[in-house]
């Protein structure tokens, strides 16, 4: 068994709950004694040791020969998946529907056409109710095959109905596919680029989106078509930094679920992701009251909807929960409270219990760095920024990679590491130039950092005032405001000018804004 497959087996075993392990052992022992089953002995060894040591396996289980090991691991992996499928089939509608399709196929092969059709009709009704469009089409095509070749006594009136359903599903699947393709392409562009950086990127995104956008109004789409529609438009406006429109489509996403509430339980990961996008959009449009309302709705989910044993759902809930609770503290300026989340988040990342991807970890590291920096703990901020900077050329989130380096310079400046700042300014300047991410905001920050070692202490405050004035002019430029979305540099400058902690500055702004805030119309 190749190394990757072996690693996959170990990872699968590590992911099993106690109930899943118990079910697997009962599943294996149903027909034979466990001491005779070599792959179960291998499972027990791997479960106990949580690592793969071939020498120890052959020593502890003499009945296993080295030449058998590869096939044995492959068989164990397959048996684990079979056991998990059986355990989960009562909770997952899609597995039940596929099982009904299998039963219909078995009955058909035995020549029991009427019984096969009865099962197909029952499964088809459930597939339509649950919006399992691809499965519904597969069921209909099988039913058409039976009706078209055998005299079953049920063809009268059914032919027209099957034809209508097939044509209707073909249109639904065609539109779903077009919008899902567009949503996926926009998501990939967002991971690569993030927010548009210049007019060239702005027009590229607009032309790309318009050229791919199907001319189908959302009202004509099925449940899934509407979700993909909202996803595509959401990413489009997110990249263009049109946050009010991004909010509109994030809210539409949730509205689609509210119109068909039975879809929440069946597609809980997608509903959770929708709430995540809605919270992100509210954060960007600085609508604190609505943000808190939706965050409370998000936090109530485990009490209102059964997560079951789904590790994916639990992982998504915890991941997004950390992100938005951190954002809450950023909005309020309550960084001392936010710091209390950091050890828990660090443990969450290190445990690897939910198989976080590298992109998500990168986002977490940047949020943690910003939290420590804003609270005045520059050493911890630098620690997490270095975890981003020292990655080996990841091909995603170039935006975070760039701003991590800028924040790192500022954190070292705060610590008084002037020689290091002077040395790293040139390196970061070259990096941003290579990434084509060197704009006026960054240039102004670099000019300031280059000058500071030569500026007398008495003149430093004036330099902060000058830099703040320059940056405020740039903040209104649609292609220059991007840096302010990653780092509240203006509040940091105000803290230096007024000799106050950053948190106190942001808290004062929050209090002022909150008292006069109005909801989005």
Judged by average pLDDT, the poorest of 27-31, 280-284, 506-510 is 27-31
| pLDDT for residue 396 | 66
- Report pLDDT digits (tens) over 97-111: 999 999 999 999 998
Over range 432-455, report the average pLDDT.
77
| pLDDT for residue 518 | 47
Residue 373, pLDDT above cutoff 70: yes
Residue 506: pLDDT band (50, 70, 90) is confident
| pLDDT for residue 35 | 57
Please give the DSSP secondary-structure letter assigned to residue 435. T
CA angle in degrees (0–180, nearest 5) for 277-279-282: 110
| pLDDT for residue 277 | 95
Residue 305, pLDDT above cutoff 70: yes
The whole-model pTM stands at 0.84
| Percent of the chain clearing pLDDT 90 (strictly above) | 44
| Percent of the chain clearing pLDDT 70 (strictly above) | 93
Residue 294: pLDDT band (50, 70, 90) is very high
| pLDDT for residue 34 | 55
Q: Give the pair of three-digit tokens for residue 438.
A: 């060197």
**Can you say how many angstroms the Cα of residue 268 is from the centroid of all Cα atoms in its chain?**
13
| Counts of helices then strands in the chain (DSSP H, E) | 28, 0
Q: What is the CA radius of gyration of the chain?
A: 28
- With contact defined as beta carbons under 8 Å apart, do 454 and 413 qualify? no
């Amino acid at each position: 068994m190749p190394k990757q497959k072996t690693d996959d087996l170990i990872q699968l075993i590590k992911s099993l709950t106690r109930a899943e392990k118990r079910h697997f052992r009962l599943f294996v022992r149903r027909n034979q004694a466990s001491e005779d089953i070599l792959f179960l002995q291998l499972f027990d060894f791997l479960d106990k040791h949580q690592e793969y040591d071939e020498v120890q396996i052959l020593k502890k289980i003499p009945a296993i020969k080295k030449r058998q090991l590869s096939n044995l691991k492959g068989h164990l992996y397959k048996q684990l998946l079979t056991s998990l499928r059986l355990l989960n089939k009562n909770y997952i509608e899609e597995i039940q529907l596929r099982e009904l399709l299998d039963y219909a196929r078995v009955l058909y092969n035995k020549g029991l056409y009427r019984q096969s059709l009865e099962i197909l009709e029952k499964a088809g009704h459930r597939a339509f109710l649950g919006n399992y469009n691809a499965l519904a089409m597969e069921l209909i095509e099988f039913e058409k095959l039976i009706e078209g070749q055998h005299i079953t006594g049920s063809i009268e009136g059914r032919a027209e109905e099957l034809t209508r359903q097939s044509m209707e599903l073909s249109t639904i699947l065609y539109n779903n596919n077009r919008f899902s393709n567009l949503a996926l392409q926009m998501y990939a562009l967002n991971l690569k680029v993030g927010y548009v950086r210049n007019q060239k990127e702005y027009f590229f995104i607009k032309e790309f989106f318009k050229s791919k956008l199907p001319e189908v109004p959302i009202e004509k789409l099925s449940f899934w078509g509407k979700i993909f529609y909202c996803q595509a438009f959401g990413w489009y406006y997110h990249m263009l930094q049109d946050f009010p429109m991004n909010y509109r489509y994030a809210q539409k996403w949730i509205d689609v679920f509210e119109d068909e509430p039975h879809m929440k339980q069946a597609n809980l990961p997608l509903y959770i992701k929708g709430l995540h996008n809605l919270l992100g959009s509210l954060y960007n449009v600085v609508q604190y009251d609505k943000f808190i309302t939706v965050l409370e709705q998000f936090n109530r989910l485990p009490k209102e909807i059964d997560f079951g044993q789904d590790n994916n759902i639990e992982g998504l809930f915890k991941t997004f929960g950390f992100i938005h609770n951190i954002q809450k503290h950023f909005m309020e300026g309550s960084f001392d409270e936010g710091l209390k989340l950091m050890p828990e988040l660090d443990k969450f990342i290190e445990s690897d219990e939910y198989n976080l991807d590298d992109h998500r970890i990168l986002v977490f590291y940047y949020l943690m760095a910003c939290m420590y920096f804003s609270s005045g703990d520059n050493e911890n901020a630098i620690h997490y920024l270095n975890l981003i900077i020292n990655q080996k050329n990841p091909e995603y989130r170039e935006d975070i990679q760039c701003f991590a380096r800028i924040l790192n310079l500022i954190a070292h400046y705060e610590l008084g590491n002037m020689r290091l700042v002077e040395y790293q300014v040139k390196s970061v300047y070259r990096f941003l130039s290579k990434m084509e991410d060197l704009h006026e905001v960054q240039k102004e920050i670099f000019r300031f950092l280059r000058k500071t070692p030569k500026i007398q202490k008495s003149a430093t405050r004036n330099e902060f005032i000058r830099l703040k004035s320059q940056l405020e002019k740039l903040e209104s430029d649609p292609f220059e405001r991007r840096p302010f979305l990653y780092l509240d540099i203006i509040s940091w400058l105000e803290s230096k000018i007024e000799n106050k902690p950053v948190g106190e500055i942001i808290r004062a702004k929050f209090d002022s804004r909150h008292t006069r805030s109005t909801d989005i119309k």
